[in-house]
A and B are shown apart, each in its own frame.
Chain A
Amino acid sequence: MLLITCPHCGPRAEIEFRCGGEGHIARPGPHDAVSDAEWADYLFYRTNPKGEHRERWLHSAGCGQWFNVARDTMTHQISAVYPMGETLPEASPAKEAAR
């Protein structure tokens, strides 16, 4: 079971959270200039790495806030938790150890 450190409430069990899937996805546009393939990519194609994954989580049973998580899909190790709107720099070490 995951122990997730909510930026607002601190470490809590995973049952308090909901995973919103891949983070940092931008809607393509303007809409009439977007090809079918680009729409398909936006709607249905997601990164599915065996390793570190950037995703959004919602503390649904707590503060109700969304935030970003960097998590390894093999080990489930959480290497960073950071606020919405921020991008974890590619080369930086994990900003915050989760446990």
Chain B
Amino acid sequence: MTRHYSALSLLREGLNGQRGWQPAWQDADPKPRYDAIVIGGGGHGLATAYYLAKNHGITNVALIERGWIGGGNTGRNTTIIRSNYFFPETAAFFEFALKLYEDLSRELNYNIMFSQRGMWMLGHDRHGMEMLRRSANAMRLNGIDAELHNEAGVRAEIPGLNDSPRFPILGGLNQPRGGSARHDAVAWGYARAASALGVDIIQNCEVQGFLIEDGHVRGVETSRGTIRSECVGMAVAGHSTVVAEKAGVRLPISSYALQAFVSEPVKPCLDTVLLSPATGTYLSQSDKGELVIGAGLDLYLSYAQRGNLPWMERAAAGVIELFPAFSRMRFLRQWAGICDVVHDSTPIIGATDLGGFYVNCGWGTGGFKAIPAGGWCLAHAMATGASHPLASAFSLDRFRTGALIDEASASGIAH
């Protein structure tokens, strides 16, 4: 039976009629009791389960997922990875995630197709350029790669940009180590690696309530029966308030839909990731050749994973403004994911008022790039009861003490 992926195993299975492959992960039935339960089978939940087993030796873990692995936001994002933040706390955290991503294919023995094709942010006016210069300086002070280019530099690196745009292109900030990865592969790779270490991956299992005694969590009630554990972690993205409410924990989160689109596939024409705040454009080309286009958040609360037409039109207009040549392309698919938005656009990772109940939430529109670090830090909190140094500033308490880390203002995050 073949578990390890390599050129040799490919060759062997090729000669053997591909009959020896094992399932990537075992679809488990719930046991009555575990050392730890992770709620949510997206990237952050799967990474948490994996690092609980790998970093802390806790392998008697249940990962429970309402739907199927990778069926939530992990399968609904635009797959961009970057660490261009402003404050030292967030910069260190997202840079740690990027570094874990750089080695993830090897570590998981699963090709996540991480491509460091660069991440560009364009400046369209004097103030935009001042912000980019400030960002570049902040990134360098935080030890993160950043390049500031003038218009000629941008046009030399990104062919096809509009020659006479309504919003002139004055320059751009590039993070060369930014890029994108295959989102499904990140989920599947973590699921496979966690399962191999003994984690039970339980799909189609919805959390319906919590067992609580003396202010401490004792387990969860699910659609597949009661599962007991003194340690429960939650990573359910847009549904964080809904699930936490069942445990009596209130979170400062509002849920909004963020939609994205892909075009029909075309030949390679864009070899980097591009963000233009002024035109509302967020664009890259997938390895299949589709243009992957992100739109803005809907302006009202939503749990409907479908987005709306005005934002779709606005995103298309922005793309055509930057790349007139794309005007004849068709949208192939459109979808939306639900984002958990907090006031300072910085995640919440760590303990809650309920003993033994830990959360990983508040990622807004940017959770994908943080998956390895989010899982790493939630696993640390669950295993040790203490906050990981990288996430100690991301406590739920900051909304009471006022120690907000306002990346919304500092690095111009759109949520």
Interface, chain A (partner B; CB < 8 A): 1-2, 13-15, 18-19, 21, 36-37, 40, 43-46, 48, 50, 53, 55, 71, 73-76
**A71 CA / B301 CA spacing, docked (Å):** 9
The reply to whether A48 and B310 contact each other, CB–CB distance below 8 Å, is no
In the complex, are the beta carbons of B399 and A44 less than 8 A apart?
yes
List B contacts of A36 (CB < 8 A). Answer: 400-401
Using Cβ atoms and an 8 Å threshold, which residues of chain B touch A75?
304
Q: Would you give 5 A-B contacts (Cβ < 8 Å), ordered by A?
A: A36-B401, A40-B399, A44-B342, A48-B254, A50-B242
Please give the residue numbers on chain B whose beta carbons come within 8 Å of chain A beta carbons, in ascending order.
239, 241-242, 250-255, 299-304, 308-310, 342-343, 399-401
A39 to chain B minimum Cβ distance, whole angstroms, is 8
Provide the main secondary structure of the chain A interface: mixed
Whether B309 contacts A71 by the Cβ 8 Å rule is no
CB distance from B307 to the nearest CB of A (A): 10
* Chain B residues within an 8 Å CB radius of A55: 300-301
Q: Knowing A48-B254, A50-B242, say if A76 contacts B304 (CB, 8 Å).
A: yes
Which of A15, A40, A73 sits near B304, CB closer than 8 Å?
A: A73
B315 → A minimal CB distance (Å): 14
CB distance from B244 to the nearest CB of A (A): 10
B310 contacts which chain A residues (CB < 8 A)? 1, 13-15
Given A14-B310, A48-B241, A50-B242, A40 and B400 touching (CB < 8 A)? Answer: yes
Question: Is the beta-carbon distance between A48 and B304 smaller than 8 angstroms?
Answer: no
Residues of A within 8 A of B251 (CB): 45, 48
Question: In the complex, what residues of A have CB within 8 A of residue B303's CB?
Answer: 50, 73-74
Contact partner of B308 (CB less than 8 A), chosen from A1, A43, A44, A53, is A1
Name which residue of chain B comes closest to A18, CB basis.
B299
Choose among B299, B302, B399, B401 the residue that contacts A73 (Cβ–Cβ < 8 A).
Answer: B302
Q: Is the CB of B304 within 8 A of A71?
A: no
Given contacts A1-B310, A40-B399, A40-B400, contact A48 B300 (CB under 8 A): no
Interchain CA distance A37-B304 in the complex, whole Å: 31
Chain B residue with the shortest CB-CB distance to A46: B254
Give Cα A76 to B241, complex, Å. Answer: 19
B302 touches A48 (CB 8 A): no
For B301, the chain A residues whose CB sits under 8 A away are 48, 53, 55, 73
CB distance from B404 to the nearest CB of A (A): 9
Q: How far is the CA of A50 from the CA of B256 in the complex (A)?
A: 11
Q: Please, which residues of chain B bring their CB within 8 A of the CB of A15?
A: 310
- List residues of chain A with CB within 8 A of the CB of B254: 21, 46, 48
The verdict on A48 contacting B401 (CB below 8 Å), with A71-B300, A73-B303 known, is no
| B309 / chain A contacts, CB cutoff of 8 Å | 1
Closest to B306 in A: A76
Are A14's CB and B308's CB within 8 A?
A: yes
Bound state CA distance, A53 and B304, in angstroms? 14
Closest to A48 in B: B241
Report the nearest B residue to A39, measured CB to CB: B400
